[in-house]
């Protein structure tokens, strides 16, 4: 069977997301990643083939290096013209927002500041406007999740707006990747299914799978024995940041039913926030990315790891306490950047004290 002359939409989307998340990735690495992607897809559909048979079929019949190289040129052009700027009301002239959704969107942007997060972009605000009608579907769920008998209307509004914003960001990022890929009619059916059933568990699993796929690309580079120069180091940092942000969003959705938004932090502080909110086994796997043979001081990270006592205590918090806990955790990371390299001696005590302060103060944000 002859190799295909064109890439399928799913291959284009895979390459576009890869390039978008890792701008400095080489053509050779893209070809290798596409090959692994096709092998994994075929393995799921035809598990009876051996690894050698799968690779031979993909290389001989499915992998078109010429088509990939040609398509990468198109992706690079699309990347150069895509600018996603933070939304504010000045953008209403170019992207109208309904009068019903507008106050909620402004509320969301204000909460993003309070939650130490980056603002929704104009692209994401467009999706917020589109999904605003889903807000009412979250009312009964909100009452259960908030865990209070007489719910505060403002608290319900904050919760519902945060859910709409989370999905707006998910769809916005998918749309951006599709635009980079040059796909005129992208397929959002998988996201639609997650949204219709509000299936955060399977969405999180899909997000985490992408995270670990990204991890494998980094490990492949490390295993090659190449010590990266500054350009390579930036490439690896981009991959780490992309994977970590995806994982953070998944963890926050599992904890709150929504994300607080992309942390408005440097990569180092994002990594610190990541490591202080995940259990040991996750941090152990991720530690591989920043350990020898990379031998880069900036990336040689000591993981504080969230103790079991803290995990148990944080899981017993109410909704608003959970929000305040994560925001306080972000603030703690900003105030303790040194914790990225050296675990504080009183780390567990500090985390427990942080949670106790939130429970005692009963503050809201």
Q: What count of other Cβ atoms lies within 10 Å of the Cβ of residue 36?
A: 16
pLDDT value, residue 91: 82
pLDDT in tens, 240-280: 676 778 778 888 988 888 899 999 998 888 888 887 887 65
Indicate the pTM of the whole model: 0.71
pLDDT in tens, the chain (365 residues): 556 667 888 888 888 877 776 666 778 888 888 888 888 888 887 878 887 887 888 777 788 888 888 888 877 766 655 557 889 898 887 778 999 999 999 999 999 999 999 999 988 999 999 999 888 776 655 556 666 555 677 888 888 899 999 999 989 888 887 777 677 678 888 888 888 877 777 877 776 666 666 656 655 655 665 444 444 455 556 656 767 787 788 889 888 888 999 999 988 888 888 878 876 555 555 555 444 333 344 444 444 467 788 888 988 888 889 999 999 999 999 998 888 777 677 888 888 999 999 988 754 44
């Amino acid at each position: 069977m002859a190799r295909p002359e064109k890439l399928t939409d799913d291959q284009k989307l895979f390459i576009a997301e890869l390039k978008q998340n890792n701008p400095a990735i080489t053509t050779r690495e893209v070809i290798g990643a596409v090959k692994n992607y096709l092998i994994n897809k075929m393995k799921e559909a035809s598990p009876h083939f051996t690894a050698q048979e799968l690779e031979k079929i993909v290389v001989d019949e499915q992998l078109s290096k010429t088509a990939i190289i040609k398509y990468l040129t198109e992706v690079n052009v699309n990347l150069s013209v895509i600018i996603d700027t933070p939304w504010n009301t000045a953008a209403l002239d170019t992207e109208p927002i309904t009068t019903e959704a507008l106050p909620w969107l402004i509320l969301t942007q204000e909460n993003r500041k309070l939650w130490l997060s980056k603002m929704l972009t104009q692209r994401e605000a467009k999706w917020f406007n589109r999904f605003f009608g889903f807000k009412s579907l979250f009312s009964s769920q909100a009452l259960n999740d908030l865990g209070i008998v007489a719910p505060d209307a403002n608290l319900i509004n904050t919760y519902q707006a945060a859910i709409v914003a989370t999905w707006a960001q998910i769809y916005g990022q998918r749309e951006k990747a599709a635009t980079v890929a040059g796909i005129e009619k992208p397929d959002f059916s998988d996201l639609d299914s997650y949204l219709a059933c509000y299936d955060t568990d399977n969405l999180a699993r899909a997000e985490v799978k992408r995270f670990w796929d990204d991890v494998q690309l980094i490990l492949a580079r490390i295993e090659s024995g190449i010590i990266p120069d500054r350009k390579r180091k930036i490439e690896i940092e981009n991959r780490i940041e992309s994977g970590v942000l995806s994982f953070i969003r998944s963890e926050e959705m599992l904890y709150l039913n929504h994300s607080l938004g992309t942390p408005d932090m440097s990569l180092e502080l994002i990594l610190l926030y990541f490591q202080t909110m995940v259990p040991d086994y996750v941090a152990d796997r991720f530690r591989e990315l920043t350990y020898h043979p990379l031998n880069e001081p900036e990336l040689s990270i000591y993981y504080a790891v969230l103790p079991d006592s803290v995990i148990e205590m944080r899981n017993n918090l109410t909704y608003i306490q959970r929000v305040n806990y994560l925001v306080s955790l972000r603030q703690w990371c900003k105030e303790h950047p040194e914790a990225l390299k050296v675990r504080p001696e009183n780390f567990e005590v500090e985390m427990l004290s942080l949670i106790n302060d939130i429970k005692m103060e009963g503050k809201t944000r």
